[in-house]
Chains A and B, each alone.
Chain A
Amino acid sequence: MIGVGTGPGKPTEEHVARASEWECWIALSLLPGVGPAAFTQLLRRHGSAAAAWRAGEHALDGMRRIGDEAVAAMATTAGRDPREMARRAEGATRAAGGRVITWLDEEYPRALLNLDPRPPTLYVAGDVEVFEGRAVAIVGTRRASGYGLAVATEIADELARADVVVVSGLALGVDGAAHRAAVAAGGRSIAVLPSPLDRIYPPRHRGLAREIVRGGGALVTEVPTGATVGRPDFARRNRIIAGLAEAVVVTEAPDRSGALLTAAAATSIGRELYAVPGPIGAMASRGCNRLIADQQATIVTSTAALLRQIGFSRGERPPAVTALSEVEGQVLERLLERSGSIEELVDRTMHPPAAVASALSLLEARGLVNPFGGATFHPTLAAKRLAGVL
């Protein structure tokens, strides 16, 4: 038995033929400098990975925009055993809890087939079924404000409840919040990594990655397992995020945020792009605001509106919460109008600090206000549902 994708059973003649093409395919994609673009050209020119491999150093002759590294690497194919390379890659991937998937395999995500160039090989951990579901990407800055996190959480939660797969990049900040909310809502999520499966980046999200897999989702990366990569490759990762989703929502992005690269990729491959507006002048939202101003992205005015626009129906309603006191109710109302610090709430409700602090604790205990540190308090999804804001 060769690749996992071929399934168990006695290898037939046809299997062996395909398997060796499969092995050459993986070996070719492992060569340094042979990225998706070069790979695609090689395939077009030679008809198969095996043929390209056999052509060796002359395989790239006359091709445009090919790096020296790729040329040097192709010159070494004669001395290498593609079968051995593929097996090693597969072994390492399996050890990391994943599997190797190529275009040749039917599990290859269909959404990526119209990417050009598309990644020849993917390393996937988790359930490949998840690629079959409808998916929406939520991306944003790693340095998210409380607002950005709250919005990402809210949208991811709603999407997950509507059985939509939430795609993101497992980064800190918005990405993490989106994945976490999706998993917490019992939904499925796909994390596209900028790193190999055996070295999950960022390390702090290893636990989250496990939860995503446990929840029926998947981890996907283009980087070969065991590869000694220097910097995580964010640009290529972002293309896959956009590719896997039918729509991309940017929740919070300052100027020059990586999330804007994902947004650009989404536009270039024809995915719908949505952006969540931020307060004018807010550095953390300048990228989003510009996307909206330049009419590159559709404005997100509420989670419900977003779901309607993308074309999903709402999830179920949560149970009602027990009655709130007068102060608690007022504090929650003010928070639903606009998130704010205790100090601000004292101003806006005209209640003394003692009463407001006490009310906030009670709201937190009932899951109506987020429990994080920092000056600003945000209402939770439950609070919005309770108030019928959503």
Chain B
Amino acid sequence: MLATALSASVVGVDGVPVRVEVDVSFGLPGLTIVGLAGSAVLEARERVRSALRNSGFEVPSRRITVNLAPADLPKEGTGHDLAIATAILVASGQLDGAGLRTTALIGELALDGSLRPVPGALALVAAALAGGATDAIVPAENGAESAAIRQVAVRPAGALREVTRHLAGIGMLEALQPTVPQPFTSLPEDAPELAGVVGQRVARRALEIATAGRHNLAFSGPPGVGKTLLARAAAGLLPPLDEDEAAEVSRIYSAAGLTDRRAPVTLRRPFRAPHHTISTQALVGGGPRVRPGEASLAHRGALLLDETLQFRADALDALRGPIDVGSATIARVEGVLALPARFMLIATFNPCPCGWFGTEQQACVCEDGARRRYQARLSGPMRDRLDLLVPLEPVSTSGASRAPTESSAAVAARVRRAWCLQRERQAAPNVELPPAAFDAEHGFAERIHRLMETRARQMGLSLRRVHRAARVARTIADLDGCSEVEPRHLDEALGHRPKPPAP
């Protein structure tokens, strides 16, 4: 007899609906799983067999064939266990299969028949919805995150027995209320409060501009000037995600198995700060079973590369793609996979190995060659992709720079207002404005175009650099509350552009 159950598999950060087909027929007793099942899926044979037996069911001593369709898609993980077990019960006549048509079954089975959580539940339920499911039964621990998909009635269950009773119509599993994204009012725990940063008004201004338009920002300077502190403060300035963005971000975190159980769907923008020893794969994603990398985990948020020049050169170079197109492309035997990765890059680095090159306070003790090799680690193309670069100096002890400084909340409010203005005008943040959008509708008057040309000639700038400055200028105008970009906005943007190091 034949039975079909609905399940899903994670590919990259997206779920793909999977139909679990089970055929119980005469023949040599055994359980075979086909459909490019990975080792964890193959081991489902043992888990399913024990779970069925220990839940009081019978494992038919006949030939059982399980096919996971689409059969050409490699499947990994343990999330198909529940669907396989249930389909076997239906195929062997131990359970009525009427409810299986519209109910997705997701979960890993323990040997005693209880359900264990799986990574990527949110993505799996989203896929099930695409596959035609109206209901989804998920492990209890995955309930809250799965319920973020409103169009599906998500029913958490603790054990196989509960699932079969529900399907048989004996004891219904309650559907969860859709999870509401959690708003936040406080700073993230690890984000420094800007009010505590002494001086560095120029760097603070650049930080505000960068977060307001999601521009790529770099701080350079000697050790101890507060580069990292300022960079981390960006986490407290980013405005909340909107609901669509929140769903997108939650799906990525779910697929990576990094969902915060207490707040499965948050409106807080991601802020990722991987250590510089990170591998290319961990940074942009990949691996035998494709997992999103830090670039994708920072999607819609910020990616801080503290001590950027200490990162592996190939890892840094791998970020070029995501910065340009907003997604990390991973080539697989089965085809090319694109993981979403639109993030604001924040880089910090010393100007040379000892850190003091170009400062007046202390002499640099680095060999020229060593310094140049060090600076060259930030390749030309990467430098090109930075929108603002601020060299920091040790804070002077003069009274003026010790004046009280603004709090993160005050700056965040201005940043948020600038984001609102952008959203009203266009779909994307300013950093993503194509040059074609530098028109009157976006506040670029003819005289700004003329000024762009003039400055390019005077300063010897590439077209790409001028365009980047134009986007930054748009953001500065937004912070200013101006609908038109004015010359002073463009000049300020150019003042923060990355400049060639002194000869």
Contacts and interface: CB of A to CB of B under 8 A. Distances in A.
A364 to B, nearest CB: 6
A372 B499 contact: yes
Interface string A353-366: 11111111110111
Nearest to B455: A365
B364 A346 contact: no
Interface stretch (A53-61, A219-227, A373-381): A373-381
Contacts of A146: 358, 502
Interface in B218-257: 220-221
Interface in B430-459: 454-455, 458-459
Contacts of A142: 368
Size class of the A contact interface (CB-based, 8 Å)? 35 or more
B503 A176 contact: yes
Contact of B398 (A347, A365, A376): A347
Interface stretch (A279-287, A299-307, A314-322): A279-287
B205 A354 contact: yes
The interface size bin for chain B is 35 or more
A346 B501 contact: no
A132 interface: no
Contacts of B491: 357-359, 361-362, 365
Contacts of A375: 221, 358-359, 391-393
B393 A343 contact: yes
Q: Among the interface residues A149, A283, A342, which one has the most CB atoms of the partner chain B within 10 A?
A: A342
B190 to A, nearest CB: 26
Interface in A333-354: 341-344, 346-347, 350, 352-354
B401 interface: yes
B495 A358 contact: yes
A374 B202 contact: no
A254 interface: yes
B368 A143 contact: yes
Contacts of B157: none
Contact of A279 (B201, B357, B360, B476): B360
A346 B364 CA distance: 26
Contacts of B204: 353
A39 interface: no
B147 interface: no
B492 A343 contact: no
B202 A343 contact: yes
Given A346-B201, A358-B491, A358-B492, A374 B401 contact: no
A353 B499 contact: no
A357 B368 contact: no
Contacts of B368: 142-143, 172-173, 202
Interface in B138-188: none
Given A343-B201, A346-B202, A358-B492, A371 B499 contact: yes
B492 A145 contact: no
A123 interface: no
A149 B503 contact: yes
B488 interface: yes
A147 B360 contact: yes
Nearest to B372: A204
A149 B358 CA distance: 11
Given A353-B205, A373-B502, A374-B351, A361 B391 contact: no
9 contacts: A341-B391, A347-B396, A347-B400, A354-B492, A357-B205, A358-B491, A374-B351, A374-B501, A374-B502
Interface of B: 199-205, 220-221, 351, 357-360, 362-364, 366, 368, 372, 389, 391-393, 396, 398, 400-401, 454-455, 458-459, 476, 488-489, 491-492, 494-496, 498-503
Given A357-B491, A361-B494, 17 more contacts: A143-B357, A143-B366, A177-B503, A283-B362, A284-B363, A341-B393, A343-B392, A346-B202, A353-B204, A354-B205, A354-B476, A354-B488, A355-B492, A356-B495, A360-B495, A373-B501, A375-B221
Interface of A: 142-143, 145-147, 149, 172-173, 176-177, 180, 202, 204, 254, 279, 282-284, 341-344, 346-347, 350, 352-362, 364-367, 371-376
